[in-house]
Chain A
Amino acid sequence: MVNIFRRMRKLQSLLNVRVGTGAAVLPSVASANKELPAITRLHLTYARKIYGGHQGARHFWRNCLPRLKYHNPGLRMTVKQTDEQEGPAALTIYFAERASNAASLTAANIEDKHAPAPESSEKTAILDVKNLGYEQIWAKVKMMTGAEEIPTTAEEEAQLKKFEQLREQSSKDRVRIAEMRQAKKDQERMLQEARGEVERLRQA
């Protein structure tokens, strides 16, 4: 099994799931009101390669969706990666009963054939995410759904700071160690060459 320290280091990434862009609670059935109806599902479709404006969608999946899933564990989320580079990059938001005002205003008039069909009580709003960065996408999603961001606690701030320091230190160390290794290699090469010289002299 992997070394325990390496495993602990790996678990530092959990902080990234708790805080950051997309760490927010979406209105659920319990907390929904007239202005902000409950969200039941999310679906994201984008193409496999990034050209054609599909990069932001993939980053949204990588960065924001795990955080959303962590803070809204009951929410179903699906992602479909297609091979159609010309096809849509779309985020479908499924509202219970009716879409929020903001959602119906910003919804794009595109069709996403990979999104699962809404149930009879669900209303969908499709957001066109082509050529948008993931932070822009998140801002739109937040606006459409009325998501409440979860503030980072002081403890988490401190941890973030610590990891940032560690990261800086490790990039410094990486340079230092690379220099040391290079120096050692150079010296060995020089010794090797010198030895070769002696051999040649002896043979001559």
Chain B
Amino acid sequence: MTSSSLLPSVARSLLSSCRSPLRQGSMAPLVPGFQQVRGAKSNPQAIIRKNREKEKASVRKGRRGPRDFKQRDLKDMEQFTLCDAVRYLRAFEVGREPSSSKYEVHIRLRTLRDGPVIRNMLRFPHSVQTESRICVVCPAGRHQKEAQAAGAVLVGEQEVFDNVKKGIIEFDRLICHPDSLDALNKAGLGRILGPRGLMPSVKTGTVVEDVASRVEMLRGGTVYRERDAVIRLPIGQLAFTPEQLRDNLRATIDQIKKDAAGLNDRINKEIYEVVLSSTNGPGFSLNGEFKTDDSPDSASLSGL
């Protein structure tokens, strides 16, 4: 469909009245739609054709789908208290490698399909994973010493690039100092680091002046982001008590609410469902309560 037939009829008549008879011939091939539409008011067939085209356009628009992610009504979904869900999950995890099994949480949001997404980092009251290994790219000198003091595993410029090119990636996070960003970009590591989500960028907050404090933060922090209206993140080890899980959940939900509020005035994001799951277990929709009367005491729901 050409743009001309989408114009309101007033604009079209304006255009045609402005056109000088001399230029008419030269303009027609540029905008083919005009030729058809010009006599539209008098010609019944043209009106029908125009309506049909309009319908087609609206169908095409409809095919683009709703603007929001579709979220069904949860009234049919069975929902669980935290303790009950934990009891089931621990039954599903029985006999699994205790170090590899973790609780995870999926937070579903009511949100636009093409809106901005939440991405941030948070620090749990009870840390989930043992320290993540952090690598820092920065010029030698003061920053290097600070980063090492803060607990970075690998600090440097050229040696980091060499290692990565060789395929030795012994870290979970990569932070870069702005002074070294050019060197990093020149080294052409995007193809290796990009797919792993390790490539530093200002947007993710991994290109920072104050490298040392960032390393501190990242060591105990968990990065999360929204994908298809869901934020997924590990929330606890299997040995956690339900109270510890509750604290971590609260911290997470508060932080996400804060993120959603801080996005934009016009963007409305709200939490729609919280699902607790584990490495080998199904997902349990939580109803926000901590325990029911017949759930076991929390001491028996912890440990390995």
Count of interface residues, chain B, beta-carbon cutoff 8 Å? 29
Interface of A is mostly: helix
Contact assessment for A70 and B88 in the assembled complex, using a CB-CB cutoff below 8 Å: yes
A10-B77 CB under 8 A given contacts A1-B230, A70-B91, A74-B300:
no
Q: Which of A8, A69, A73 is B78 in contact with, Cβ under 8 Å?
A: A8
Q: Which of A60-68, A104-112, A156-164, A178-186 contacts B (4 or more CB under 8 A)?
A: A60-68
Choose from B72, B88, B301, B303 the contact partner of A4 (Cβ within 8 Å).
B72
The answer to whether the Cβ of B246 comes within 8 Å of any Cβ in the partner chain is no
Query: Does B228 reach chain A (CB closer than 8 Å)?
Result: yes
Would you call B90 and A11 a contact (CB within 8 A)? no
Q: Quote the shortest CB–CB distance from B174 to chain A (angstroms).
A: 29
Partner of B87, one of A4, A44, A70: A70
Nearest CB on B from A17, distance (A): 5
Interface string of A15-49 (1 = CB under 8 A from B): 00100000000000000000000000000100000
Chain B residues positioned under 8 Å from A8 (CB to CB): 76-78
Stretch at the interface among A76-84, A118-126, A127-135, A165-173: A76-84
Which residues of chain B from 257 to 297 have any CB-CB distance to chain A below 8 Å in the complex? 275, 282-285, 296
Q: Considering only CB atoms, which chain B residue lies closest to A2 in the complex?
A: B283
Residues of B within 8 A of A69 (CB): 90-91, 94
A13 in the interface, Cβ–Cβ < 8 Å? yes
Set of chain B residues within 8 Å of A67, measured between Cβ atoms:
91
Q: How far is the CA of A79 from the CA of B296 in the complex (A)?
A: 23
Residue of B nearest to A80 (CB): B95
| A7: Cβ under 8 A from any B Cβ | yes
A73 engages B300 (CB within 8 Å):
yes
Task: Decide: A77 and B94 in contact? CB cutoff 8 A.
Answer: yes
As a 0/1 sequence over residues 247 to 259 of chain B, the CB contacts with chain A under 8 angstroms (1 = contact) are 0000000000000
Taking the closest CB of chain B, its distance from the CB of A68, in whole angstroms, is 8
Closest to B282 in A: A10
Across the interface, name the chain B residue whose C-beta is closest to A28.
Answer: B300
A44 contact set on B, CB distance < 8 A: 95
B301–A73 touching, CB < 8 Å: yes
Contact B95 A78 (CB under 8 A): yes
Contacts of B303 in A (CB 8 A): 76
Q: Is B299 touching A74 in the complex (CB atoms < 8 A)?
A: yes
B229 to chain A, nearest CB (A): 8
- For the complex, is A198 an interface residue (Cβ under 8 Å from B)? no
- Measured CB to CB, the closest approach of chain A to B256, in angstroms, equals 15
Say yes or no: is B92 at the interface (Cβ < 8 Å to chain A): yes
Assess the A77–B78 pair: CB atoms within 8 A: no
Residues of B contacting A177 in the complex (Cβ-Cβ under 8 angstroms):
none
Q: How far is the CB of A70 from chain B (nearest CB, A)?
A: 4
The CA-CA distance from A60 to B133 in the complex, in Å, is 39
User: Within the complex, what minimum Cβ distance (angstroms) separates A73 from chain B?
Assistant: 5
Give chain A nearest CB distance to B185 CB in angstroms: 36
**Which residue from B87, B95, B230, B299 sits with its C-beta under 8 Å from A79?**
B95
Asked, given contacts A1-B108, A4-B72, whether A74 binds B95 with beta carbons under 8 Å apart, the answer is no
B169 within 8 A of A: no
B77 proximity list for chain A (CB < 8 A): 4, 7-8
Q: With an 8 A cutoff between CB atoms, is B28 at the interface?
A: no
Using CB atoms, name the residue of chain A closest to B95: A79
B20 to chain A, nearest CB (A): 55
Query: In the complex, A76 Cα to B304 Cα: how many Å?
Result: 7
Q: In the complex, what distance in Å separates the CA atom of A78 from the CA atom of B101?
A: 13
CB distance from B274 to the nearest CB of A (A): 12
Given contacts A65-B94, A65-B95, A66-B91, 10 further A-B contacts (CB under 8 A): A1-B229, A7-B285, A44-B95, A61-B95, A66-B94, A70-B87, A73-B90, A74-B296, A76-B304, A79-B94
Residue positions of B touching A, CB distance < 8 A: 72, 74, 76-78, 87-88, 90-92, 94-96, 106, 108, 228-230, 275, 282-285, 296, 299-301, 303-304
Ordered by A's residue number, 6 sampled pairs between the chains whose C-beta atoms are within 8 Å are A4-B76, A10-B282, A17-B88, A73-B87, A74-B296, A79-B96
| A interface residues (Cβ-Cβ under 8 A, vs B) | 1-2, 4, 7-8, 10-11, 13-14, 17, 44, 61, 65-70, 73-74, 76-79
- 9 A-B pairs closest in CB distance: A79-B95, A74-B300, A70-B91, A66-B91, A69-B94, A69-B91, A73-B300, A65-B94, A73-B296
